[in-house]
Chain A
């Protein structure tokens, strides 16, 4: 196992200083997700405005470095994007296999976002950690699907 690949700088940076961490008071949608296998829990709070744009998003909870980094990266990517666009990105990420990653243009991702997603996706090589990467993405998917 190549630990340097698993714990890349991007992951350790995000886990130590997660972006959008805490409860934003303006939220109108939220959900607390839980991984019973390891006890990790992430609560996502978001504000979806009339134009179906996520105006603000944050998360709280506890988890391993990978779960926290993934949540941090996710919130950075989806902030100020349209709901429809976000759903596409989530579905793209959750369905991308560990081996290949191909970004179609209509995902609307910039280079920095693509690199972050690529890094997260590389962790899918470690099957026992897939749940950690996916937790935040699953929670956001659930919020948007169920609202």
Chain B
């Protein structure tokens, strides 16, 4: 698929028609939505709406069918095979909280060790931090100056007390694609379960769950051109049984008595209350978009734009990258020497360029690099080389205003 095909795809995103000149370089924060996803939600409410798992009328039956079809399509998209189940949550953060809380409650005891990395988003650190109440010990696999994980250290950090490993697939700051297959292989030999935060990977990288073989793989709908309000936990089926429920309520029980309650024995055990049915089922449309283009073509296209940006970076003085990993996804973070990231973002905003500035919920990594904030540029299917040209024009403007 060539660039002109991607220009056509940009037309499917109404935000760019309503905001002429918008250069959206913040897809790692949240992606924009295609008309098909917006229509899916609108159509569901206008012509198909019903709650699921309650009514026995035709609308309820059809809605449930669509909901379960979505799970089936997600499994197919991720190539999970039959070993995994899909649990919908509010977002990826809730999915990580579910894993940390359920696993921690049952399997973490005093002095047990949890292995994370210095690259983690707060969503994959804070839920594990809660287990320090149980006197668990958290260890971090260090990142090198390129923002890549050091696997030698990883092997040294594993020991008989390591009870779980939770790792980000693609860093939301450096863009590093972590060697999760290798990590999981090592962990499996020691029978340590592994949880992967795949929020930055799904729409920008080929994810084959069968090949990766994680115990848990987590991502959010709103970063894959889908709506807010829905997260996905891809979980090895055995854990549905091992885990106690995360939240309690209607729909997740089997039998309720005065003294005892038994829980559902499928994904419902972890989906109490009314779920975001319209949002969850609209993931059919966002996955359809990814399948239509193919993730392989997206990876190639975004790499081309990223390479174009890095070629320009070579000639731009006074720019410091936050890491520069060899294997990277479609994002990078930087600072203009002498200008604070928020000032850069404000000046870029005046040129209708949307970037993220701050610590990107990764204070540990920013501390490691001895900076308080950075500017992040992240790509999506609607970006093109002209967006990068505009970005660098605006970077020049920043330098002019601050006389650098």
Q: Which residues of A contact B (CB under 8 A)?
A: 1, 3, 6-7, 12, 16, 37-41, 62-68, 126, 128-129, 132
Q: List A contacts of B402 (CB < 8 A).
A: 7, 12, 16, 65
Interface: B180 (CB within 8 A): no
Per-residue contact bits, chain B 346-371, to A (CB 8 Å; 1 contact, 0 not): 11011000000111000100100000
Q: List A contacts of B340 (CB < 8 A).
A: 62-65, 67-68
Q: Is the CB of A37 within 8 A of B358?
A: yes
When A and B form their complex, what is the total count of cross-chain residue pairs whose Cβ atoms lie within 8 Å? 55
Q: How far is the CB of A94 from chain B (nearest CB, A)?
A: 20
9 additional contacts (CB under 8 A) given A41-B372, A62-B372 = A3-B347, A12-B401, A38-B341, A38-B358, A39-B373, A63-B340, A64-B343, A65-B402, A129-B342
Q: How far is the CA of A7 from the CA of B342 in the complex (A)?
A: 12
Q: Is the CB of A3 within 8 A of B343?
A: no
Can you name 5 A-B pairs with beta carbons within 8 Å?
Answer: A1-B349, A3-B346, A38-B358, A39-B359, A62-B372
Q: Is the CB of A39 within 8 A of B349?
A: no
Q: List A contacts of B339 (CB < 8 A).
A: 65
Q: Find the A residue at minimum CB distance from B397.
A: A3
Q: List B contacts of A63 (CB < 8 A).
A: 340, 372
Q: Is the CB of B346 within 8 A of A39?
A: no
Q: Find the B residue at minimum CB distance from A62.
A: B372
Q: How far is the CB of B311 from chain A (nearest CB, A)?
A: 28
Q: Is the CB of A38 within 8 A of B346?
A: no
Query: Interface size of B by Cβ–Cβ distance < 8 Å?
Result: 20
Q: A1-B349, A38-B358 are in contact. Are A64 and B401 (CB under 8 A)?
A: no
Contact of A126 among B346, B359, B366, B373 (CB under 8 A): B346
Q: A12-B401, A39-B358, A39-B373 are in contact. Are A64 and B347 (CB under 8 A)?
A: no
Q: List A contacts of B363 (CB < 8 A).
A: 39
Q: A38-B373, A40-B372 are in contact. Are A66 and B401 (CB under 8 A)?
A: no
Q: List B contacts of A128 (CB < 8 A).
A: 346
Q: List A contacts of B342 (CB < 8 A).
A: 38, 40, 64, 66, 129, 132
Q: A7-B401, A41-B372 are in contact. Are A65 and B358 (CB under 8 A)?
A: no
Q: Is the CB of B343 within 8 A of A39?
A: no
Q: Find the B residue at minimum CB distance from A12.
A: B402
Q: How far is the CA of A12 from the CA of B403 in the complex (A)?
A: 9
Per-residue contact bits, chain B 62-94, to A (CB 8 Å; 1 contact, 0 not): 000000000000000000000000000000000
Q: How far is the CA of A6 from the CA of B401 in the complex (A)?
A: 11
Q: A63-B340, A65-B340, A65-B402 are in contact. Are A6 and B346 (CB under 8 A)?
A: yes
Q: List B contacts of A129 (CB < 8 A).
A: 342, 346
Q: Is the CB of A38 within 8 A of B357?
A: yes
Q: How far is the CA of A132 from the CA of B397 in the complex (A)?
A: 21
Residues of B205-263 at the interface with A, using a CB-CB cut-off of 8 Å, are none
Q: How far is the CA of A128 from the CA of B397 in the complex (A)?
A: 20
Q: How far is the CA of A67 from the CA of B346 in the complex (A)?
A: 14
Q: List B contacts of A16 (CB < 8 A).
A: 402
Q: How far is the CA of A16 from the CA of B338 in the complex (A)?
A: 9
Q: Is the CB of B343 within 8 A of A66?
A: yes
Q: List A contacts of B359 (CB < 8 A).
A: 38-39
Instruction: Give the one of A7, A40, A64 with max B CB within 10 A.
Output: A64
Q: How far is the CB of B397 from chain A (nearest CB, A)?
A: 8
Q: Is the CB of A3 within 8 A of B401?
A: yes
Q: How far is the CB of A143 from chain B (nearest CB, A)?
A: 22
Q: Find the B residue at minimum CB distance from A132.
A: B342
Enumerate the 5 nearest inter-chain pairs by beta-carbon distance, A residue then B residue, closest first. A64-B340, A64-B342, A1-B350, A39-B359, A39-B372
Q: How far is the CB of B400 from chain A (nearest CB, A)?
A: 10
Q: Find the A residue at minimum CB distance from B358.
A: A38
Residues of B367-404 at the interface with A, using a CB-CB cut-off of 8 Å, are 372-373, 397, 401-403
Q: Is the CB of A3 within 8 A of B350?
A: yes
Q: List A contacts of B350 (CB < 8 A).
A: 1, 3
Q: How far is the CA of A126 from the CA of B111 in the complex (A)?
A: 49
Q: How far is the CA of A64 from the CA of B363 in the complex (A)?
A: 17
Q: How far is the CA of A32 from the CA of B357 in the complex (A)?
A: 22
Instruction: Give the one of A12, A62, A65 with max B CB within 10 A.
Output: A65
Q: List B contacts of A1 (CB < 8 A).
A: 346, 349-350
Q: How far is the CA of A4 from the CA of B38 in the complex (A)?
A: 38
Q: List A contacts of B343 (CB < 8 A).
A: 7, 64-66
Q: How far is the CB of B264 from chain A (nearest CB, A)?
A: 38
Q: How far is the CA of A33 from the CA of B335 in the complex (A)?
A: 23
Q: How far is the CB of A129 from chain B (nearest CB, A)?
A: 7
Q: How far is the CB of B257 from chain A (nearest CB, A)?
A: 46
Q: How far is the CA of A4 from the CA of B321 in the complex (A)?
A: 28
Q: List B contacts of A62 (CB < 8 A).
A: 340, 372
Q: List A contacts of B403 (CB < 8 A).
A: 12
